[in-house]
Amino acid sequence: MPKTLAGFCLLSGIILLFYSIIQGPVGGKDYKLPKLSGVKRMIIGFMGILLTIVSIWLYVSGKEGIPVAYPLNQKNITTMNRVMRDEQKALTKETHENLTPKDKIDKQKFERVYRVAKTLTATVEGGISYLKLQELNQDFLTEISIAEDSVTAGKEKEVIALYKSAYETYKISETVWRAIIKYNLDNYGDQYPNQAKAIFETLKPIIEQFGLVLISKVAYDGDLMHELHTAELRKIWVVANEYIDKANAIVMGKTPN
């Protein structure tokens, strides 16, 4: 069977021309086409000529590659599925081969920092002390530095940059937490009213950046003081965890959200 429209038209035209030219009936043992009258022979001959002209036009116009649609059966479906699989494999191979060294990630380089980052985020979510945060964040920085020494590609450098941003954000939360502990008005703030006021003025850019909410209280000397609740630290941790999630997604070959 012809696979293009031009071939189909040409074959049909030849068959019709042949049938219009012969004089007697055509067929085999079980079936025969009847002998045509003069008018019918002319009509079929004209159709054969028309189909032949159409096929020539398709070849000349460059449209001979238009596929012929055959009825779907199990054989055709199987063939189509095989062709689609082959095309998908070719596309996947081409995409992989076209990846530049800058786009490739060596997961082994990030295995340890990835694991430490997951531990840090999980511990923070489950509940963490100030000292434990310092310890895990320092371990995080150590593994970042080790991984950074081995990276070369652009995508790998992007991962390192994201991990560093996460570390720096956690480091900011350490600074804020230290101020909360030292200058809490209920505990030690009354002893250092001026220092407490000054430290939270210093932290004002951080407070505004992360949308932290200051609590206003009146100190023993009547001054209006401000303090932060430890629950506000989670707003900083959310940002840090987003950096880690993006980095981890790239390491695992996924698309960052």
Tens of pLDDT, residue by residue over 9-46, are 777 777 777 767 765 565 655 556 666 667 777 787 77
What is the β-pairing status of strands 214-218 and 26-27?
unpaired
The residue that leads in pLDDT, 68 or 50, is 50
Residue 69 has pLDDT above 50, yes or no: no
Long-range contact set of residues 53-59: C-beta below 8 Å, sequence gap at least 24: 53/13, 54/9, 54/13, 55/6, 55/7, 55/8, 55/9, 55/10, 55/13, 56/10, 58/4, 58/5, 58/6, 58/9, 59/6
Which of 186-195, 199-208, 219-228 is predicted least confidently?
186-195
Return the ∠ at Cα 181 (arms to 207 and 244), rounded to 5°: 55
Q: pLDDT category, 72, cuts 50, 70, 90?
A: very low
Residue 237 has pLDDT above 50, yes or no: yes
pLDDT for res 100: 54
Q: pLDDT category, 94, cuts 50, 70, 90?
A: very low
pLDDT for res 67: 47
Q: pLDDT category, 106, cuts 50, 70, 90?
A: confident
Beta bridge partners of 181: none
Mean pLDDT of 177-194: 67
Per DSSP, 4 falls in state B
The Cα–Cα gap between 227 and 56 comes to 88
3-state secondary structure of 26: strand
DSSP per-residue codes, 209-233 = HHT--EEEEE-TTS-EEEEE-GGGH
Structural domain spans, the chain: 5-97, 107-251
pLDDT for res 193: 56
pLDDT for res 191: 54
The Cα–Cα gap between 37 and 51 comes to 21
Residue 234 has pLDDT above 90, yes or no: yes
Q: pLDDT category, 70, cuts 50, 70, 90?
A: very low
pLDDT, the chain, mean: 76
pLDDT for res 143: 95
pLDDT for res 28: 57
Burial of 176 (0-12, 13-18, 19+ CB in 10 A): buried
Residue 5 has pLDDT above 80, yes or no: no
The residue that leads in pLDDT, 216 or 161, is 161
- Top-ranked range on mean pLDDT: pick from 32-46, 132-146, 147-161, 243-257: 132-146
Q: Tell me the percentage of the chain whose pLDDT exceeds 90.
A: 34
Residue 174 has pLDDT above 90, yes or no: yes
Residue 255 has pLDDT above 70, yes or no: yes
3-state secondary structure of 67: strand
Q: What is the pTM of this model?
A: 0.58
